[in-house]
Every structure is written in C-alpha cells, then in structure tokens.
Chains A and B, each alone.
Chain A
Amino acid sequence: MTVITGKINEIIKPENLVYAKSPLLNDVSMHYCPGCSHGVVHRLIAEVIDEMGIQEQTIGVSPVGCAVFAYNYIDIDWQEAAHGRAPAVATGIKRVMPEKYVFSYQGDGDLAAIGTAETFHAVNRGENIVMIFINNAIYGMTGGQMAPTTLVGQVTSTTPNGRNVDLNGYPLRITELIAQLPGAAFVTRQSVQTPAAVRKTKKAIRKAFEIQAQKKGTSFVEVVSTCSSGWKLSPVASNKWMEENMFPQYPLGDLKDTGRADPDLYKVKG
C-alpha cells in the first residue's frame, strides 16, 4: 500500500491509472454534438475490440446518418455503405472473408426506414455478423425529421404537432420483429445513460462479437439513444426524457439468446 497524504499530484501517476481512453480510438475529435450517445457506443465498440485483441481482424460498415464518419474514429478497417445498405455490404464482406469479425453500425433512419429490407433479409439469412442499432427516434443528421421509431406525440421537424398515428402510423419496434426471425442468434436492447447501463451495453456488444466467432447467426444490439439536438433538450434532460418516454415503448433487455434456428425444422419432408 502506498503511504501518501492524498495530494492530487501524488494520485495522478501512471501506476495509479484505472481508466484511460481506448488506444483504438483515434486522436481526433468526434464531430458529434455534446452528450451524443453515438460517442459512448463508439467507445464501447473500441474497448471490446481492443480487449478481445481482434483489431486486425475486424471490419466495420458505417451508415449514412450522423455516424457516417465512424470510420474516422475507431482504428480498424471500415467500409462506408450507401444509405440503409450496411447489412448487405457486411454480408458481402463476411462471405468473402469469413475469418473476419464484421459489424454494421446504423441509426434508426438507416436501419429501420430506407434499409428495412436489407436489415430483415440479412438477419433472416442468419448472416454471421453483428448489427449495432442506434435508436434515437429521429433523423439526427438531416435536421431532426420523424423516423419510423419516433414516438406518438413526439415533436420533430416533420411532425411539428407531434407524431399522429392517423397520419404517420405507429412507432416501429423493429427489434421485436428481428427477434422473430430464425436467423437471429442474439437480440438485445440496451442503453448508455448511466454507468450501469453503459457496462451492460459493453457486455452485450462483447457477447455479440463472441457469438460471431461461434458462427451462431446474426447478433443484433439495439441501443436506445438520445439526440439532444434533434430533441431540442440538454444532454441531461435528454437522458431523462429517454427514460420516461422511450423505455416504456422500447423496453430494455434480451429478446432472444438461442442462436439461429435448426435448419432441419424448416426442411421439406421428402
């Protein structure tokens, strides 16, 4: 035990380090708004890849949306996909290089609107990829328009009086639908607004990557997220709004953890 008086400069020494920025996060500022959930999830992905020692074997596929520049931030190989097509691009990469760890990273507009077909079919094929889904219930990048996941009554720039079901339909719980598909191995919904929630999300991301190595099918990790700029709230108020309004509609927890279905169950008899 170190005998010290507790002065700051006696604490701040390399041997006392308990947390530092991941070496896989590049030395550049992220362009995200203050408090944006994208930054936290980027850090968790970097930490998981670093802790698993798979930096050289991992390929990310970045979306169109605020996370379009994800390739600038995490020091791995990346491919940028056209809007919504990340799961299709990830499929191609994984099939050509099955020994690599491949993941897609997408927002709700990318994954659950323009890319719905790619999302469902990649999971239905049980592609051995990880899909990370940042659900902030809005199109953040383009100025806060309604997304499929926008809540009823939620004000956005295209629903100035709040989302109206008669006009705009219902919020899409795409993760519940994904969990129905036989190709899905592990489907979970997490969040990153508290230290405990962040740790759970990191465990879920790690598990998703491990399942990929076991070739069990698609892992799908939704992170219920904030977009303080789109929601026009402070980052702290956004977290509170998310807990009060998003969590009842998008409840946290694992939705499936069985591995992909046995193909024999789906075979013709003769």
Chain B
Amino acid sequence: MAKVRGAVVVDNEECKGCNLCVVACPTLTLALNRNVNNKGYHYSYMENPENCTGCSNCSTVCPDSCITVYRVKVEQ
C-alpha cells in the first residue's frame, strides 16, 4: 500500500518561535523546542517526525519562510 510521508527542515536560526506552524500542522508533527536559538527563540522542530505528511501547511503560514518541506510516496 502506498502512503505519503513527509519531512520538514526548519532553519533554526531564522525561526522566531511564533508557534503559527505548530498550530497549523494537522498531524501534530511540530512543537517548539525547549532549547533556544542564538536570538533566544524556542525554534520549531519535528517532535513527532513519523506523523508528517508533507502537506506544507506549516510553510504556508510561516512569516519568516524558514520551513522547507519534502514529500515522498512510501511503499510498505
């Protein structure tokens, strides 16, 4: 069966920790990291990477264009 899997790469240093991508993600993939970047922001990261479908909702709402999205069909 084919299934879609995705993954995102967040530019940690550009992220301002606004949380908008976290609430826009329908699969609860993202969360704000406990650690902060050099600007002092809790940057977004894939807390549950296995959930990501590569739908791009997160990158669509990100004001700082710091999310890159990848998507692939997986054969199981």
Contact = CB atoms under 8 A, between A and B. Distances in A.
Which of A10, A16, A32 lies at the interface centre, i.e. has the most chain B CB atoms within 10 A of its CB? A16
A17 to B, nearest CB: 6
Nearest to A73: B65
Given A29-B14, A35-B18, A194-B61, A19 B68 contact: yes
B72 A38 contact: no
Contacts of A21: 65-66, 68
Interface residues of A, number: 41
A245 interface: no
Given A36-B63, A198-B60, A8 B7 contact: yes
A199 interface: yes
Interface string B47-76: 001100010110111111111111111111
Q: For the complex, would chain B's binding face be called helix, strand, loop or mixed by DSSP majority?
A: mixed
Interface residues of B, number: 39
Nearest to A19: B69
B19 A236 contact: yes
A2 interface: yes
Given A18-B54, A18-B56, A198-B61, A34 B73 contact: no
A38 B64 CA distance: 10
B65 A39 contact: yes
B24 interface: yes
A198 B20 CA distance: 13
Contacts of B60: 19, 195, 198-199
Nearest to B64: A39
B69 A18 contact: yes
A195 B24 contact: yes
Interface in A4-42: 4-6, 8, 10-13, 16-22, 25, 29-30, 32-40
Given A8-B49, A29-B14, A35-B20, A18 B61 contact: no
A235 interface: yes
Interface of A: 1-6, 8, 10-13, 16-22, 25, 29-30, 32-40, 43, 192-195, 198-199, 234-236, 239
30 contacts: A1-B73, A5-B74, A6-B3, A6-B74, A8-B49, A10-B72, A11-B5, A11-B71, A12-B7, A17-B70, A18-B54, A18-B69, A18-B70, A19-B59, A19-B60, A21-B68, A29-B14, A29-B64, A33-B16, A34-B16, A35-B63, A37-B63, A38-B63, A39-B62, A39-B65, A40-B63, A194-B61, A195-B56, A235-B18, A239-B20
